[in-house]
């Protein structure tokens, strides 16, 4: 069982429960803390809205008081292109405690050309179950790496879900910058071979996240238990288990720079 679940959604984006509902579910399951990590602003259908940041922050504080569970305000920001830019702006930083980022479909991109270089090709390759071209892998890897280098991201969500990066190269970059690789328990996003390679050939650390879109899934680790039956990941490299608390890069960045 995890102590912290850093990736839960609410009605502010694509989830079915409120911030308090997620906190109550976390309390019931014995978690020490959760992050509300709703989808970033540039997703027209599911994205959270910037104008609600203040309200969300207040609701997190109230939910924490009411439940005794630590409730962080996070965001699952979207990568916007090859430049690695995300839709979390520096002016939003003061509201946010935990910075998650991932690649999602149907977001409003930084430049239209990114659709052809990378988003569109990932979409068609995954929907048509084609094998990805070397160029697509190269571009997707570059987008992830640029995002990790250029933003103080705490957690990279569901690496390679519906897209095709060189996962080992991305994991090496995560290790270098102190960003966690998420073990997402909502979806299978890496092959067993990729997990094994990452565990054996890098020293990147991990967090397990439910990516809950409903309160009943907060803290759910069942997909991780399945993975563990095939791949061994040392507990000491998973920083939201066994009383560990992750070292969050974004907090350190804010302390130093804001
Ligand atoms: Zn996601
Ligand atoms: Zn999510």
Rounded to two decimals, what is the model's pTM? 0.96
Closest ligand by atom to 163 CA:
1
Question: What is the CA(75)–ligand 1 centre distance, in A?
Answer: 10
Say which residue the tokens 């988003």 belong to.
Answer: 119
Question: What is the CA(232)–ligand 1 centre distance, in A?
Answer: 25
- What does the pLDDT read at residue 258? 82
Taking the C-alpha atoms of residue 74 and residue 96, their distance in angstroms, rounded to an integer, is 5
Taking the C-alpha atoms of residue 231 and residue 195, their distance in angstroms, rounded to an integer, is 7
Residue 171 φ/ψ, nearest 5 degrees: -65, -35
β-sheet with 33-39: strand ranges across: 4-8, 33-39, 70-78, 98-102, 155-156, 180-184, 206-209
Chain segment 37-94, per-residue pLDDT in tens: 999 999 988 999 999 999 999 999 999 999 999 999 999 999 999 999 999 999 999 9
Question: What is the CA(140)–ligand 2 centre distance, in A?
Answer: 19
Q: Which structure tokens are listed for 205?
A: 């650390």
Chain segment 36-52, per-residue pLDDT in tens: 999 999 998 899 999 99
- What does the pLDDT read at residue 119? 86
Dihedral angle computed from the Cα positions of residues 146, 81, 197 and 252, in that order, rounded to the nearest 10 degrees: 50
- What does the pLDDT read at residue 86? 97
* Ranges of each domain in the chain: 4-257
List the one residue out of 138, 152, 140, 168 whose CA is nearest residue 255. 152
Taking the C-alpha atoms of residue 16 and residue 215, their distance in angstroms, rounded to an integer, is 7
Residue 191 neighbours by CB under 8 Å, 6+ apart: none
Closest ligand by atom to 103 CA:
1
- What does the pLDDT read at residue 40? 97
List the one residue out of 254, 244, 257 whose CA is nearest residue 1. 244
Please list the pLDDT of the chain residue by residue as tens digits (258 residues). Answer: 899 999 999 999 999 999 999 999 999 999 999 999 999 999 988 999 999 999 999 999 999 999 999 999 999 999 999 999 999 999 999 999 999 999 998 898 888 888 878 888 889 999 999 999 999 999 999 999 999 999 999 999 999 999 999 999 999 999 999 999 999 999 999 999 999 999 999 999 999 999 999 999 999 999 999 999 999 999 999 999 988 889 999 999 999 998
Taking the C-alpha atoms of residue 85 and residue 77, their distance in angstroms, rounded to an integer, is 10
Q: Which structure tokens are listed for 117?
A: 């270089």
User: Which architecture, in CATH terms, is 4-257?
Assistant: Alpha-Beta Barrel (3.20)
8-state DSSP, 69? S
């Amino acid at each position: 069982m995890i102590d912290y679940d850093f990736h839960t959604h609410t009605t502010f984006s694509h989830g079915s429960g409120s911030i308090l509902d997620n906190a109550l579910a976390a309390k019931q399951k014995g978690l020490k803390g959760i992050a509300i990590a709703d989808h970033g602003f540039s997703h027209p259908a599911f994205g959270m809205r910037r104008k609600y940041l203040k309200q969300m922050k207040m609701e997190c504080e109230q939910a924490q008081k009411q439940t005794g569970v630590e409730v962080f305000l996070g965001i699952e920001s979207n990568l916007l292109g090859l430049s690695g830019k995300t839709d979390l702006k520096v002016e939003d930083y003061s509201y946010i405690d935990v910075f998650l980022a991932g690649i999602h479909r149907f977001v409003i991109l930084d430049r239209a050309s990114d659709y052809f270089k990378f988003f569109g090709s990932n979409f068609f390759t995954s929907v048509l179950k084609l094998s990805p071209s070397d160029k697509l892998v190269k571009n997707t890897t570059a987008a992830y790496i640029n995002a990790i280098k250029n933003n103080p991201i705490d957690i990279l969500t569901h690496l390679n879900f519906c897209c095709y990066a060189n996962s080992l190269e991305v994991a090496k970059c995560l290790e270098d910058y102190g960003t966690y690789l998420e073990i997402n328990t909502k979806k299978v996003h890496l092959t067993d071979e990729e997990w094994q390679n990452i565990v054996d050939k890098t020293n990147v650390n991990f967090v397990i996240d439910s990516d809950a879109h409903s309160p009943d899934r907060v803290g759910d680790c069942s997909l991780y238990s399945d993975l563990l039956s095939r791949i061994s990941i040392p507990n000491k490299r998973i920083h939201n288990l066994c009383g560990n608390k992750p070292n969050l890069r974004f907090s350190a960045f804010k302390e130093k720079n804001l």
